């Protein structure tokens, strides 16, 4: 999980509760500290608290190494600077699932009407497309409302799981 705030915490906790699934996090600051202290935590709409073990929490993708699946759950404006640091996570078979807000960098790829250039408004200079080749990406829509009550504590407000 790249980003462990509201949506990252929501998805990370739910996935980590599944038998045999190990979920690591690339996080920073107080969220990183909180994840290392107690693992994944998600407050449900009915007030129950779901908890799950965290495989590893780091602030450098090189510490995680190659991954089968990378879920991007950061705010879209932070991705141009972050994307080039994610290379250690990717293998030829890695799936990248962008569970993010806004228009994705890959929107319009292959559409003649938009040309061959990336959308500059979401991928300035093509940094994201250069770091995360389109062949890795599977589109995603998260139909859930979530927030962060505190670092490392996601709150699921509404929406389907």
Which domain CATH number covers 34?
Answer: 3.40.50.720
pLDDT tens track for 123-134: 888 889 899 998
Domain assignment present for 143: yes
pLDDT at 110 over 90: no
Domain assignment present for 142: yes
CA distance 55 to 136: 23
Q: What is the pLDDT of residue 105?
A: 77
Q: How many structural domains are present in the chain?
A: 1
Q: What is the pLDDT of residue 120?
A: 75
Query: Are the C-beta atoms of residues 5 and 13 closer than 8 Å to each other?
Result: no
Domain assignment present for 39: yes
What's the mean pLDDT in 30-40? 96
CA distance 67 to 33: 22
Classified as helix, coil or strand, 127 is: helix
Q: Which residues, at least 6 apart from 82, have a Cβ–Cβ distance to it below 8 Å? A: 2, 74
Domain assignment present for 1: no
Classified as helix, coil or strand, 31 is: helix
Share of the chain above pLDDT 70, in %: 98
Instruction: Determine the structural domain holding residue 63 and report its residue range.
Output: 6-159
Domain assignment present for 57: yes
Tally DSSP H helices, then E strands, for the chain.
5, 8
């Amino acid at each position: 999980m790249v980003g462990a705030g509201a949506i990252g915490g929501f998805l990370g906790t739910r996935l980590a509760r599944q038998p045999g699934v190990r979920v690591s996090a690339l996080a920073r600051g107080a969220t990183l500290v909180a994840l290392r202290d107690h693992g994944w935590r998600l407050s449900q709409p009915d007030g129950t608290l779901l908890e799950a073990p965290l495989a590893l929490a780091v602030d450098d993708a090189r510490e995680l190494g190659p991954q089968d699946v990378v879920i991007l759950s950061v705010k879209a404006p932070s991705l141009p600077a972050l994307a080039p640091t994610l290379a250690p996570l990717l293998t030829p078979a890695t799936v990248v699932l962008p569970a993010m807000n806004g228009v994705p960098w890959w929107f319009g790829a292959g559409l003649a009407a938009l040309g061959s250039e990336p959308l500059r408004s979401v991928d300035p200079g093509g940094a994201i497309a250069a770091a995360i080749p389109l062949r890795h990406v599977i589109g995603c829509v998260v139909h859930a409302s979530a927030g962060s009550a505190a670092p490392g504590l996601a709150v699921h407000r509404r929406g389907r799981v």
